[in-house]
């Protein structure tokens, strides 16, 4: 059990190290993982959560950023004006790093 927990901690720290390497330094709001329980997915709840988040980001006049490892979610986030700025494997799983700007400047990560 201890070995398994240690392994999970190492994996989590490794993932966090990769995510932080890609994390834009420019000020932004970070959309953390969101989830809708499977029984009620595809009924518009996720879109409502994103609308709420984006409305507040727009009111603040600021940019936003997220990571996802699910290809099926990329078009959903693109509908809310997030754009893929980078892709990289995290623990062997492809991840998409997505930025949402008020203006036209899409920053390079770590710039």
Ligand X SMILES: CC(C)(COP(=O)(O)OP(=O)(O)OC[C@H]1O[C@@H](n2cnc3c(N)ncnc32)[C@H](O)[C@@H]1OP(=O)(O)O)[C@@H](O)C(=O)NCCC(=O)NCCS
Residue 76 interacts with ligand X (CB under 6 A): yes or no: yes
Q: Cβ 13 to ligand X, closest distance in Å?
A: 20
Cα–Cα distances (Å) from 2 to 7, 9, 12, 30, 73, in that order, read: 9, 10, 15, 32, 34
Task: Report residue 17 as tokens.
Answer: 């190290």
**Binding track over 17-56 against ligand X, x by CB under 6 A:** ----------------xxxx----xxxxxxx---------
What one-character DSSP code corresponds to residue 41?
A: T
Residue 71 interacts with ligand X (CB under 6 A): yes or no: no
For residue 17, give the H/E element and its range: helix 2-22
Say what the alpha-carbon torsion angle 71, 76, 79, 84 is, to the nearest 10 degrees: -30
Residue 107 interacts with ligand X (CB under 6 A): yes or no: no
Residue 84 interacts with ligand X (CB under 6 A): yes or no: no
Name which of 33 and 61 has its Cβ closer to ligand X: 33
Binding residues vs ligand X (CB under 6 A)? 33-36, 41-47, 68, 70, 72-73, 76
């Amino acid at each position: 059990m201890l070995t398994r927990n240690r392994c999970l901690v190492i994996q989590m720290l490794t993932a966090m190290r990769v995510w932080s390497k890609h994390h834009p330094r420019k000020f932004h709001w970070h959309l953390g993982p969101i989830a809708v329980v499977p029984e009620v997915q595809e009924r518009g709840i996720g879109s409502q959560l994103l609308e709420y988040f984006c409305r507040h980001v727009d009111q603040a006049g600021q940019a936003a950023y997220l990571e996802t490892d699910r290809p099926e979610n990329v078009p959903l986030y693109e509908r809310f004006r997030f754009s893929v700025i980078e892709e990289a494997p995290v623990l062997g799983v492809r991840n998409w790093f997505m930025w949402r700007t008020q203006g036209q400047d899409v920053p390079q990560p770590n710039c």
